Chains A and B, each alone.
Chain A
Amino acid sequence: AQSVTQLGSHVSVSEGALVLLRCNYSSSVPPYLFWYVQYPNQGLQLLLKYTSAATLVKGINGFEAEFKKSETSFHLTKPSAHMSDAAEYFCAVTHSGTYKYIFGTGTRLKVLA
């Protein structure tokens, strides 16, 4: 069975500071991993995906994530937070043998002026 844990349901950072959102996964088979962003009253938008190619994945809006198999982690980072990054972020896991995605419970990012 697969699972995803997002540490911290709320994270606050100052504008210009590093953003670090944590995601740990559990999977008995090679995983595919995703980060999505959700702005208020909107659907989920894909930020980036890992599908067994390069372990450092670059996404939209300056975000990136690194797949670390030894730590079963896929943390999301951005060097410098912008006010427009305030949103909820979801990590998700799946694998090649299933249609289903397992989503984390989300991390709400607040950016302080």
Chain B
Amino acid sequence: DVKVTQSSRYLVKRTGEKVFLECVQDMDHENMFWYRQDPGLGLRLIYFSYDVKMKEKGDIPEGYSVSREKKERFSLILESASTNQTSMYLCASKGNQPQHFGDGTRLSIL
């Protein structure tokens, strides 16, 4: 079975902090994704990566950056956290179909 592991299930940070969300997959997948999930809005794609050091913006990249130094690890970075970034963050990976998801990180920015 594919395993996608997100480093934290719950995280509380303060406005202005730099926040790192980590995601690791164990299936040698090329593609990895970061989404945020908000009630009534479904899943919105923040960034994705199709290879090491390669990344593309998704639909809502503002205020975020990503890093993929190794194939198995994809990090989401909130450069200066703001309260409107309080959300559920989901990481996914994909070889062929489908995407496989981690358990999510519920991030609160105070």
Expressed in whole angstroms, the Cα–Cα distance for A68 and B101 within the complex equals: 27
Report yes or no: A51 in contact with B101, Cβ–Cβ below 8 A: no
A103 within 8 A of B: yes
Segment with Cβ contacts to B, from A13-21, A36-44, A75-83: A36-44
Report yes or no: B90 in contact with A43, Cβ–Cβ below 8 A: yes
B48 within 8 A of A: yes
Q: Which of B43-93 contact A (CB under 8 A)?
A: 43, 45, 48, 50, 58, 90, 92
With A41-B106, A43-B90 as known contacts, state yes or no: A51 contacts B45, CB within 8 Å. no
B100 within 8 A of A: yes
Contact with A along B87-110 (1 / 0, CB 8 A): 000101010011111111010000
Expressed in whole angstroms, the Cα–Cα distance for A86 and B48 within the complex equals: 30
Contact with A along B21-45 (1 / 0, CB 8 A): 0000000000101000000111101
Partner of A103, one of B40, B42, B106: B42
With A99-B31, A99-B50, A99-B94 as known contacts, state yes or no: A46 contacts B100, CB within 8 Å. yes
Chain B residues whose CB sits within 8 angstroms of the CB of A27 once the complex forms: none
Expressed in whole angstroms, the Cα–Cα distance for A32 and B92 within the complex equals: 17
Chain A residues whose CB sits within 8 angstroms of the CB of B97 once the complex forms: 32, 34, 49, 51, 94
Report yes or no: B42 in contact with A106, Cβ–Cβ below 8 A: yes
**Given A43-B103, A45-B101, A92-B99, 20 new contacts (CB under 8 A):** A32-B97, A36-B101, A42-B103, A43-B4, A43-B6, A43-B101, A43-B102, A43-B104, A44-B43, A44-B90, A44-B101, A46-B98, A94-B97, A99-B48, A99-B50, A100-B45, A101-B99, A103-B42, A103-B43, A104-B42
- 17 interchain pairs (CB within 8 A)? A32-B97, A34-B98, A36-B101, A41-B103, A43-B101, A43-B102, A44-B90, A45-B101, A49-B98, A90-B43, A94-B97, A99-B31, A99-B48, A99-B94, A104-B42, A105-B40, A105-B42
Question: What are the nearest 6 A-B pairs in CB distance?
Answer: A43-B101, A105-B42, A44-B101, A103-B43, A43-B103, A103-B42
